[in-house]
Amino acid sequence: MKYSKDEIINAMKTVFDPEIPVNVWDLGLIYNIDIKDGKVEIKMTLTSPTCPMAEEIMLMVKQATEQVAGVGAASIELVWDPPWSLDKMSPTARLELDLTEEGW
């Protein structure tokens, strides 16, 4: 393996939800990154099961991951358990969206 989980995370930070100006990592949409034999398996969710951009976001995550040097292939699994909620967002994302605990 010529790449690290941190490099995969940095790639995730280049993918933004088109409807929310925050990257998928800081939104808390990436639940798991598993690296096996040059392949990366990602479990992710979306902010809503009815997200009209679901396919596009998943494709962007796959493409960003596969652009990391050394990654042979990436697979994306969309999961709904546990459901996404605001508490999964990073402090940076909450600040960018002007969300405070009082405002939840």
Alpha carbons 48 and 18: distance in angstroms, whole number? 13
Q: Which of 58-62, 72-76, 97-101 is least confident?
A: 97-101
Backbone angles phi, psi at 11, to 5 degrees: -65, -40
The answer, yes or no, to whether residue 72 has pLDDT greater than 70, is yes
pTM score, whole prediction? 0.89
Spatial neighbors of 103 by CB under 8 A, at least 6 apart, are none
Instruction: Name the 3-class secondary structure at 23.
Output: strand
The answer, yes or no, to whether residue 80 has pLDDT greater than 80, is yes
- In the chain, DSSP assigns E strands to 30-36, 39-44, 73-78
In the chain the domains, ranked by start, together with CATH numbers, are 5-83 (3.30.300.130)
Q: What is the mean pLDDT of residues 37-52?
A: 92
Which of 43, 25, 35 has the alpha carbon at shortest distance from 71?
35
